[in-house]
Amino acid sequence: MIQIIPAIDIIGGECVRLTQGDYDQKKTYFKDPLEVAKMFEEAGIRRLHVVDLDGAKASVPQNLKVLERIASGTGLEVEFGGGIKSGEALSSVLNAGARYAICGSIAVTAPEEFDSWLKQFGGDRIVLGVDTKNGFVATHGWLKSSALTASDLISKFTGSGLKQVICTEISHDGMLQGVDSTIYTGMQSEFPDIKVIVSGGISCVDDILGLDKLGLKAVIVGKAFYEGRITIEDLKKLSRC
């Protein structure tokens, strides 16, 4: 069964969701992210996706205390992204308890540094975040665009130990309108040795099952859970499959 990775996005220490990455379209769901993380753990989830939206905007992690509380208060493997643009920031995230560090903008703006992190920490800990908009990679919390395609970016690091890529199609994120699966199946086919993690657009359990049938390996579930379209009971059933 495809691995399900629930998402917690953080602004001001609270659990929120944006629509299409727009900070002006913010909705707060829970005051305490640890409460949500424990809920997921009790449902049988093993890996959690945490995004520091304040950090993404500020270009340096801003919610490390939240990360520490989740990492120490649960047994979840936390993948954490948002503002990891220096070696100091990367160390702070790993030291705060993240099992995986998600790095996106740095791979575009300073590929040599990202390459060195992959070689130092390995692809089991460093995850490439590829956020695409209109076919091109977006950076800096989705506020800027680059001239690279997802394939261009991934290709830069296949020889450096890259093992995991989280790909978000921004136009689908938070829209609850389903996933453009061709993006992900094409990416997984092009890079068969890399774990492609689907992000953006999941609206219901059937979307998850459809991705599973296509042979995709992991999927991030966010707004569909918070809006009640996917329940804790659904997660419990799927985690047992």
Residue 7's pLDDT band (boundaries 50, 70, 90)?
A: very high
What pLDDT was estimated at residue 212?
97
Residues 59-84 have a mean pLDDT of: 97
First to last CA, the chain: 6
- What's this model's pTM, rounded to 2 decimal places? 0.93
Over pLDDT 70: what percentage of the chain?
A: 94
The phi and psi torsions of 50 (rounded to 5 degrees) equal -120, 125
The CB density around residue 97, as the number of other CB atoms within 10 Å, is 18
Domain housing 71: 3-240
Q: Helix (H, G, I), strand (E, B), or coil: what is residue 226?
A: helix
What is the maximal distance between C-alpha atoms in the chain? 44
Count Cα atoms within 13 angstroms, Cβ side, for 23.
14
The CB density around residue 167, as the number of other CB atoms within 10 Å, is 23
Q: Helix (H, G, I), strand (E, B), or coil: what is residue 41?
A: helix
Q: Given a cut of 90, is residue 140 above it in pLDDT?
A: no
Instruction: Please pick, among 52, 54, 115, 131, the residue that the annotation labels catalytic.
Output: 131
Residue 155's pLDDT band (boundaries 50, 70, 90)?
A: very high
Higher pLDDT, 241 or 17: 17
Q: Given a cut of 60, is residue 174 above it in pLDDT?
A: no
| pLDDT per position as a tens digit, 11-32 | 999 999 887 667 888 899 999 9
Pairing of strands 126-133, 164-169: parallel
Place of tokens 């990891």: 84
Least confident piece of the model among 43-47, 83-87, 151-155, 180-184: 180-184
9 is catalytic: yes
Residues 121-142 have a mean pLDDT of: 86
CA 90 to chain centre: 16
CATH of the domain at 141: 3.20.20.70
CA 178 to chain centre: 17
| Residue 206 exposed, middle or buried by CB count within 10 Å (0-12, 13-18, 19+) | exposed
- The count of domains in the chain is 1
Q: Look up residue 142 and give its two tokens.
A: 């989705």
131 is catalytic: yes
Place of tokens 């997660």: 235
